[in-house]
Structure 1
Amino acid sequence: MTDTEILRVFENSEDPALFTGEVADEIGFSNQGTLPRLKELADKGYLATKKSGRVPMWWITDRGREFLTGDE
């Protein structure tokens, strides 16, 4: 699963932020398989995260949108 494919899940979502499980369902991975990829994208600055209780929520950043348009 490429960075682009994962970021497109966020770009195409009607929700401004997604839980790890929602992304996992979209890409066909387990939560445990999805979480490290989301953290990697956050480390690159393409996603931002905040915990809602114990569960992290994720959203695409301006830098992530720039990556998708090839402007980065």
Structure 2
Amino acid sequence: MTTPFTVRASGPTVAGRTLRARLTAPGLSESDAKPVTLLPDGVGGLVAELTAAEGTWVLEVEADRPYWVCHGVVTVAEV
């Protein structure tokens, strides 16, 4: 079963930029996961909905102009 969750980016550095998020299982190639573009949330930030099965995932958020990447570990658990 997959669980939906929200990825949100906010702050002065996100305005006018394209951000994409992707989830990969640890140890797998990032090229296997399709990125999701974050969209305006109406209050100055960007947001995307992702889904994942229970487990530990690597979340990558990539931005353009200038290029920037942030990686984090996410644990998905059904409540």
Q: TM-score of the superposition, structure 2-length normalised?
A: 0.26
Larger of the two Rg values belongs to structure:
2
Q: Greater helix percent: which structure?
A: 1
More strand by share: 2
